Amino acid sequence: MTDAPQPLVHLDVADGVATVTLDSPHNRNALSRQLVTELFESIHKAGADDQARLVLLRSADRVFCSGADLSEAAVTPFEEGTKAMVDLQRLLVTFDKPVVTRLDGPVRAGGIGIVAASDIVIAAESANFALTEVKLGLAPAVISLTVHARMNPRAAALTTLGGATFGGAEAAAYGLVTEAVPDDQVDARVAEVCAELATGAAQGLRESKRILNRDLVARIDALGDEMAATSARLFGSDEARVAMMAWLSRKK
């Protein structure tokens, strides 16, 4: 009999806020099958909880998300993973309750799709971001569904093609996050935003969000299958597999 794996996502509900915490420090909250599955489960539970007016996404550690789990992607077909990322973004965008994301540190690649799918994002000024796919022979295909809808086109081109790291203030200027605040003010600002959202009536929040995200939902539905197929093709390419294995060997 094998021991059950330790949970990688935690859900707590208090004061109208369903806090969903990513807690997979061994791989910097990489989007493994287990983490993504548990993230879906936690969000659905939050949706069914009448005490929760909104969802707060955060990390137990400073790193929010390092992107795809390359240890899985380098050795297994990725079709299931790319489709799951489309579905995850769509879930966040269509979720009946506002989704607030708190960022204290690094966000990479696929994790930026979660950020872009959120309704409100509060980032520390020291948080940093990078669309690193281009360095591995990949492209941010699936997350482009939300990322390129949030960011202004020039910023999207610069960050997608260059793959360079950019900071919290730049992310706010680009449209990726709502606000970047000094590191020592993140707690207070997140609490303030959540408290204000929690005063909203359930119907008002639900219907307002549907209006806000109507065009984004249409974009995901129109392009989701194509982007999932593109991403799976790139992850399965010889060029990307060689690059991912080289990256993994450097991490050992």
- Report yes or no: 134 and 165 within 8 Å, Cβ to Cβ: no
Instruction: Average the pLDDT over 66-92 and give the result.
Output: 85
Nearest to 185, CA basis, from 113, 129, 126, 107 = 126
pLDDT in tens, 115-142: 999 999 999 999 999 999 999 999 999 9
Query: What CATH topology corresponds to 9-186?
Result: 2-enoyl-CoA Hydratase; Chain A, domain 1 (3.90.226)
- Report yes or no: 40 and 90 within 8 Å, Cβ to Cβ: no
Give the strand order in the sheet containing 17-22. 9-14, 17-22, 54-59, 99-103, 120-124, 179-181
d(CA 116, CA 244): 25
**Paired strand residues for 164:** none
pLDDT in tens, 171-216: 999 999 999 999 999 999 999 999 999 999 999 999 999 999 999 9
Q: What are the residue boundaries of the structural domains of the chain, listed by start?
A: 9-186
**Distance between terminal CA atoms of the chain?**
30
d(CA 83, CA 204): 31
Give DSSP secondary structure letters for 134-190.
GGGT---TTTHHHHHHHS-HHHHHHHHHH---EEHHHHHHHTSSSEEE-GGGHHHHH
